[in-house]
Structure 1
Amino acid sequence: MAGIIDVRRLNFSFGSGEIERPVLKDVTLSIDKGEIVLMTGPSGSGKTTFLTIVGGLRQACHGSVHVLDQQLVGSEEQVRIKIRQQTGYIFQQHNLLKALTALQNVSMALEMHDTMTEQQRLDRAAAMLDAVGLGDRMDYRPEQLSGGQRQRVSIARALVGQPKIILADEPTASLDKQSGYEAVGMLKRLAKERGTTILLVTHDYRILDIADRVVELEDGVIRNA
């Protein structure tokens, strides 16, 4: 049975003609529901490109990319929007809005849920911040939080919409060893409780033991799927 993420013979290049640069080469990878997969590999190997294609943030034209039973290769924008609505994203630099509090940053992720009132969004955001250990920091702005705390806000924001998939791009790169391990450990625990699938791109070999499986992408090619 195909996984919740099922990629077959995916090829992707930047540019065209004489300046065409292949980035992903015949990539095949399947990830099951609730599985935590870490993707490692050197800089420039195509990891972030792969993540953005799976997350519906970038269009691919060659191969097959089935996510949540939707074909993304050659898809209409509406299909990719549907995938984005069911996916939580965590980035290296947090991407928190500086003018907003932690509570406001997290509740913003629920604005696409038009069946919820503003108070319901705030209540769910508060519960999520409490779950990541920031119940006493809800009214703090990003500059008032440590790097580890900002990443916890980012994790809360990614999970608050109860996504089926979490895509994380180098989430520990700007954190020290302890903060990084605590952040991904918390992500793993909360995702496992909800049966959420995680694909996490990392250079950080200190966190490999949180994964159910580790795959390596090198020069655009999966070495050990």
Structure 2
Amino acid sequence: MDKMIEVNDLSFSFGSGELKNTVLKNVDLTIHAGEIVIMTGPSGSGKTTFLTIIGALRQATEGNVCVIGQQLVNSSEYAKVKIRQQIGYIFQQHNLLKSLTAVQNVAMALEMHPGLSETQRLQRSADMLCSVGLDDRLYYKPDQLSGGQRQRVSIARALVGKPKIVLADEPTASLDKHSGQDAVGVLKKLAKEAGTTILLVTHDYRILDIADRIVELEDGIIK
């Protein structure tokens, strides 16, 4: 099975000198293609920092971080952009633009795919929203949607570009139990159908059953 994420001896710190705060300590983790991995751990353990490094949103300088065959430690901005184009992101607060409809929010993720016309982007986005059960909400704006529906829009946005990896940071934190389980159930179904790899960071022990594997990060160390 192909290794989509391979991390060896990764360390990461904020600040320097007396103000240096080491967040990640010699982390090792391998995730294979199509695998759904949940990372748990207390607040401040380094989970979100780890996710941003894997997603090429933060530069790491120590260790080895290979994502989709690309080395990200001390990598160029060009290399990081190429990786970002192959990753879908799901955030706790949805990060939807309030002035845009659901289908327009999803279509924004396809602007990094220059081979598609605007009509094609909107059609693919509408199809994706139908796949997450929002066929009757295509032209609703975020304020007209429930929390669970907004998270389904963000799932559609993450998957519409057919990414190889989806990174999710506390995707159920602002949802009730039913809405949260509903949203991650949709994510798992669609990701499994597409063979997409998922790394999901959460405190929500109600959704652990969607994972193929669970890892715990505590005090910057994988348990």
Answer whether TM exceeds 0.5 for this pair: yes
- Other-structure match for 2:77: 77
Q: Which runs of 5+ in 2 are unaligned?
A: none
Question: For the residues of structure 1 that align with 2:16 and 2:188, how far apart are their CA atoms?
Answer: 40
> Once the two structures are superposed, what CA deviation does each residue of 1:177-223 show, in whole Å capped at 9, x if it has no partner?
00000000100000000000000000000000000000000000000
CA RMSD of aligned residues (A): 0.7
Partner of 1:60: 60
Determine the structure 2 residue equivalent to 1:164.
164
1:199 matched to which residue of 2? Answer: 199
**One-letter code of the match for 2:46?**
G
Question: In the TM superposition, what are the counterparts of 1:177-196 in structure 2 within 5 Å?
Answer: 177-196=177-196
CA contact (8 A) 1:124 1:160 kept: yes
AA at the equivalent of 1:44: G
The aligned runs of 1:209-220 (5 Å cut-off) are 209-220=209-220
Does the residue aligned with 1:109 lie in a helix, a strand or coil?
A: helix
Q: How far apart in 2 are the matches of 1:11 and 1:107? A: 36
Structure 1: give runs of 5+ residues left out of the alignment. Answer: none
Residue 114 of structure 1 corresponds to 114
Contact 2:62 2:73 in 1 (8 A): yes
SS of the equivalent of 1:57 reads coil
Q: TM-score, normalised by structure 2?
A: 0.99
The answer on whether the counterparts of 1:27 and 1:222 sit within 8 Å (CA) in structure 2 is: yes
Aligned structure 1 segments of 4 or more residues deviating by more than 2 angstroms: none
- Alpha-carbon distance in structure 1 between the residues aligned to 2:112 and 2:81: 11
- Structure 1 residue 2: deviation in Å? 6.5
1:82-130 CA-partner distances (Å, limit 9, x unpaired): 0100000000000000000001000111011110000000000000000
Aligned length: 223
Q: What percentage of aligned pairs have identical amino acids?
A: 73
Q: Distance in 2 between matches of 1:2 and 1:87?
A: 16
Q: Which residue of 1 aligns with 2:137?
A: 137
